[in-house]
Amino acid sequence: MSAAPLPAAAPLLVETAVAAAVTPLAMRDALGRYATGVTIVTCLDAELGRVGLSFSSFNALSLTPPLVLWSLRRESSLLAAFQRTAHFAVNVLAANQLALSRRFATRREDKFDEGVWRPGASGAPLLDGSVAIFECETATRQEAGDHVLFIGRVLALAHGPAAMPPLVYQKGHYHGLGEQL
Ligand SMILES: Cc1cc2nc3c(=O)[nH]c(=O)nc-3n(C[C@H](O)[C@H](O)[C@H](O)COP(=O)(O)O)c2cc1C
């Protein structure tokens, strides 16, 4: 029995404009096409207390050992806190946590006044209702261009039910998850 023919693939690069130069703006425009989830990475800093920021740069790195990564702008007001602290927590946001993502993407001191959270083993806030949570110790910090790359070893993790809808980010806008293809 022969398999059903696959649908013809769309021709490659049709209507894909070729940028003239790799400028920061062209990088942002092209990278923005890449859809990501949204995370809030938190830690408990000895000087600033509880801190957290919204990140789309979170990604999987290794299963054995269990490693994850994310990167922070070197100009961030919270860089020193994450450099001082040996542990952090990654909260992968659910679609209904959009307001939290906005809140943690601005400079304000009352970020943790909204939403329900509890301190993890390191004291880093764990946000209730996240689709997944990774409690990590910092394995490596490395300057990379205008960002600092953080690699964390996962010490503990948790996740919600499989049907829990995640928050998606693409081209500067928030989305829900689309249909399964
Ligand atoms: C959806 C989303 C994703 C973001 N991802 C990152 C990121 O991966 N790295 C980063 O440095 N900033 C990222 N930001 C920006 C930070 O959240 C923002 O710079 C920060 O909250 C502002 O405070 P700061 O100036 O103290 O860093 C993101 C913002 C949003 C809304």
Residue 49 sits in which domain range? 36-169
What mean pLDDT is predicted for residues 103-128?
A: 96
| Domain annotation covers residue 26 | no
Taking the CA of residue 55 as reference, the ligand 1 atom at the shortest distance is 5
Cβ–Cβ < 8 Å for 115, 100: yes
| Domain annotation covers residue 25 | no
Does 16 have pLDDT greater than 80?
A: no
Q: pLDDT tens digit string along 118-131?
A: 999 999 999 999 99
| Domain annotation covers residue 50 | yes
Residue nearest to atom 15 of ligand 1 (CA): 105
Taking the CA of residue 107 as reference, the ligand 1 atom at the shortest distance is 23
| Domain annotation covers residue 130 | yes
Does 159 have pLDDT greater than 60?
A: yes
Cα dihedral 147→36→39→96 (10° resolution): 150
| Domain annotation covers residue 135 | yes
- Which residue, 165, 137, 130, is CA-closest to 151? 137
Does 1 have pLDDT greater than 50?
A: no
What mean pLDDT is predicted for residues 54-66?
A: 98
For residue 58, the domain's CATH number is 2.30.110.10
| Domain annotation covers residue 81 | yes
| Domain annotation covers residue 163 | yes
| Domain annotation covers residue 18 | no
Number of structural domains in the chain: 1
pTM: 0.91
